[in-house]
Amino acid sequence: MSNYHIKHLEEYFQVYRKSVRNPEVFWEEIAEEHFMWRKKWDAVLNWDFKKPEVTWFQGAQLNITENCIDRHLQTRGDKTAIVFEPNDPKEKALHISYKELYERVNKFANVLKSQGIKKGDRVCIYLPMIPELAVALLACARIGAIHSVVFAGFSSTALATRINDSDCKMVITSDGSYRGAKTIDLKSIVDEGLESCSCVETVLVVKRIHNSIQMKEGRDKWLQPLLDEAYGECAPEIMNAEDPLFILYTSGSTGMPKGMVHTTAGYMVYTAYTFKNVFQYKEEDVYWCTADIGWITGHSYIVYGPLANGATTVISEGVPNYPDWGRFWEIVEKHKITQFYTAPTAIRALAKENLSYVEKYDLSSLKVLGTVGEPINEEAWHWYNDNIGKKKSPIVDTWWQTETGGIMITPIPFSTPTKPTYATLPFPGIQPALMDENGQEIHGNQVDGRLCIKFPWPSMARTIWGNHQRYKETYFSAFENMYFTGDGALRDEVGYYRITGRVDDVIIVSGHNLGTAPIEDAINEHPAVAESAIVGFPHDIKGNALYGYVILKETGESRDHDNVRKEINQIITEHIGPIAKLDKIQFTSGLPKTRSGKIMRRILRKIASNETENLGDTSTLLNPEVVQEIMDNVL
Ligand code: 7RM
């Protein structure tokens, strides 16, 4: 019997040890007992990190939608699979049962087929957070088409680049989307993008905001009439374990975004098993992840992981501040949310607002809180713990990546004692290693280094679409026989991991390795500073010098900038030493960020170094306007 559901710390250690001593037996038991297979595997694992090549459950056959939908019909047919909470609180929420989801997915799958989509074809999905988005993913999976979701906040150029890179035959979009009090004309963004995409034959359009849009004859089709005609049963395509399930783009530090390819069986097993344990999901729970499905978090922990467990998962269309900053807590109360999973950037934004937005609502249904996307600072952690969890709901600080497919380092709630800013312990099956600059593993505790993973896990990305060489260079070349995450981490006295950030954020000043995170933490201690980011720029003597971008708090009073500069450098000298003093400090109203809150330091680095002709891929920027402001005021 496998320990599918970990219930206390001893059990975690027991399960972990087993997963490391005998990974194949460990994963085989989980795969056998908890999933539906059309044919069992010939081998649990084949791997060679040198090539690199990894396969899990080779020879097995399955369809992931049978695991996410069909097999629940007997026992949970009337249970709500998806709760849809619209942007406008006055619009009624929708409860979609497993039976209804089955019918929607099957009809949609038949529409895809009727439009000529076959196994292996790529379908680009560019939709807002509406039920059709999840249904579209599942419909692709039903017929073996490879979905490539592009976040519906990205520009037409970003969309076109991704469509062309993977040769998508179809785009699924909507007439528009709601975003707080605004509407966005998605369809015209698609039209603009498609001017440079000759591969797209069909555009399916979901009606959401009922505005009038252009429909291109022969190419564009409304979805609803096609669904009305479609038959409600579509036999699942029998897929091989290693057939691609989806492509999801993640922006690289330079050049083209990388189309990470995830395959079927391993991804299913790992996302389902992590979902169950990291959120301690129970049959009656109502789980809500606030991420967009256009992000890996949404793929793994809104759609596939929850549905594979027969869970109730919430899809919310809106934003945290519409109609006001109480919206999240209103939704928690309304649907009696038991698990709530969000990002530090959202927590910080919510924490800035008046507590009365929180206190208005009954949050007593909450059992587990989660965070993902970037390191969570101590202040935000405590705000979340005190005001949302009322010190009763453990916070799972989950570290993982688009490339890893699922959660890698995380507490198991009610088992692992949490510690602010620590992602804590590796999930069963995950073997982390900290490496030094010379490629040697750093053993023992109270150490820090580059975070690698020594052994394959089922949901790891198998390649970069169309560029296996880049996959090899990016992840398997820095350290021999290891997957390199690109992150730095420290291991404390009990073996807990704390992720410190991307290691390319380290700057060498006069031969000293300086991490950006501790310097930024020091700067942020200044009472007038709201946020900061530092980068290196070339310096004749020191090799590199430090350039700081600082956002001041809006206090209404004006401050002498030169005084603040001096005070910041005093604080840095006290906390780290004079070596880390900043040569230049630019005050700015914002920092270039992605949706999940990651600062795009590459842009800041290029501006500080005067290399602004080519900023690289900026298509995933949430706030492109701030880049111009920063360039205009560069020192
Ligand atoms: C899920 C996701 C991956 C990068 C990763 C880290 C950072 C994510 C945490 C974190 C500290 C965390 N996928 N990151 N989670 N850093 N603590 N709990 O975010 O591909 O978009 O980003 O995000 O740097 O490498 S992602």
Q: Ligand 1, residues 293, 487, 502, 600: which to mutate, most atoms within 8 A of Cβ?
A: 487
Å from CA of 505 to ligand 1 middle: 14
Position in ligand 1 atom list of the atom nearest CA 250 = 20
Å from CA of 226 to ligand 1 middle: 39
Mean pLDDT of 369-393: 95
What are the pLDDT digits (tens) for 266-324?
A: 999 999 999 999 999 999 999 999 999 999 999 999 999 999 999 999 999 999 999 99
pLDDT value at residue 542: 83
CA of residue 203 relative to chain centroid, distance: 26
Mean pLDDT of 188-215: 97
Å from CA of 375 to ligand 1 middle: 8
Position in ligand 1 atom list of the atom nearest CA 598 = 23
Q: Ligand 1, residues 299, 374, 418: which to mutate, most atoms within 8 A of Cβ?
A: 374
Residue nearest to atom 13 of ligand 1 (CA): 401
Q: What's the pLDDT band for 634 if we cut at 50, 70, 90?
A: very high
What are the pLDDT digits (tens) for 33-45?
A: 999 999 999 999 9
Position in ligand 1 atom list of the atom nearest CA 502 = 24
Q: Are the C-beta atoms of 380 and 352 separated by less than 8 Å?
A: no
Q: Are the C-beta atoms of 304 and 141 separated by less than 8 Å?
A: no
Tokens coding 513: 């390795």
Mean pLDDT of the residues in the chain: 94
pLDDT value at residue 554: 77
Å from CA of 399 to ligand 1 middle: 6
Q: 371: closest CA among 353, 385, 386? A: 385
Å from CA of 401 to ligand 1 middle: 5
Residue nearest to atom 2 of ligand 1 (CA): 401
pLDDT value at residue 199: 98
Q: Are the C-beta atoms of 491 and 441 separated by less than 8 Å?
A: no
CA of residue 395 relative to chain centroid, distance: 17
Residue nearest to atom 8 of ligand 1 (CA): 373
Residue nearest to atom 10 of ligand 1 (CA): 374
Q: What separation in angstroms does the CA of 618 have from each of 252, 472, 550, 603, 622?
A: 10, 24, 21, 8, 9
Q: Ligand 1, residues 258, 289, 384, 400: which to mutate, most atoms within 8 A of Cβ?
A: 400
Å from CA of 571 to ligand 1 middle: 28
Residue nearest to atom 4 of ligand 1 (CA): 401
Mean pLDDT of 511-533: 86
Mean pLDDT of 572-589: 90
Q: 458: closest CA among 280, 339, 300, 311? A: 300
pLDDT value at residue 574: 86
Distance, CA of 512 to CA of 368 (rounded, Å): 41
Residue nearest to atom 18 of ligand 1 (CA): 399
Q: What's the pLDDT band for 543 if we cut at 50, 70, 90?
A: confident
pLDDT value at residue 254: 59
Asked if residue 447 has pLDDT above 60, the reply is yes
Å from CA of 499 to ligand 1 middle: 9
Backbone φ and ψ for 371, nearest 5 degrees, come out as: -140, 150
Q: Kindly list the protein residues whose Cβ atom lies closer than 6 A to any atom of ligand 1.
A: 250, 296-297, 372-375, 397-402, 423, 485-487, 499, 502, 596
Q: Are the C-beta atoms of 292 and 595 separated by less than 8 Å?
A: yes
Å from CA of 79 to ligand 1 middle: 33
Backbone φ and ψ for 575, nearest 5 degrees, come out as: -80, -40
3-state secondary structure string, 345-409?
A: HHHHHHHCCCCHHHHCCCCCCCCEEEECCCCCCHHHHHHHHHHHCCCCCCEEECECCCCCCCCCE
Order of all β-strands in the sheet with 244-250: 220-222, 202-206, 170-174, 122-125, 146-149, 244-250, 258-263, 463-464
Å from CA of 597 to ligand 1 middle: 10
pLDDT value at residue 340: 98
Q: What separation in angstroms does the CA of 143 have from each of 22, 120, 204, 236?
A: 35, 9, 17, 6
Mean pLDDT of 200-222: 97
Beta bridge mates, 184: 177
Position in ligand 1 atom list of the atom nearest CA 297 = 1
Q: What separation in angstroms does the CA of 402 have from each of 117, 373, 379, 574?
A: 26, 10, 27, 38
Residue 323, preceding bond cis, omega within 30 degrees? yes
Q: 501: closest CA among 516, 519, 512, 491? A: 516
Q: Would you call 224 helix, strand, or coil by DSSP?
A: helix
Residue nearest to atom 23 of ligand 1 (CA): 373
Q: Ligand 1, residues 596, 602, 622: which to mutate, most atoms within 8 A of Cβ?
A: 596
pLDDT value at residue 600: 87
Distance, CA of 44 to CA of 377 (rounded, Å): 39
pLDDT value at residue 253: 57
Å from CA of 377 to ligand 1 middle: 14
Q: Residue 157: which H helix or E strand, with range?
A: helix 156-165
Å from CA of 598 to ligand 1 middle: 9
478 Cβ neighbours under 8 A, 6+ residues apart: 450, 484
Mean pLDDT of 460-476: 97
What are the pLDDT digits (tens) for 178-187?
A: 999 999 999 9
Asked if residue 400 has pLDDT above 80, the reply is yes
Q: What is the pTM of this model?
A: 0.90
For the chain, the helix, strand and coil percentages under 3-state DSSP, each to the nearest 5: 30, 25, 45
Q: Would you call 276 helix, strand, or coil by DSSP?
A: helix
pLDDT value at residue 525: 86
Backbone φ and ψ for 569, nearest 5 degrees, come out as: -65, -30
Q: Residue 31: which H helix or E strand, with range?
A: helix 23-34
Q: 273: closest CA among 396, 541, 457? A: 457
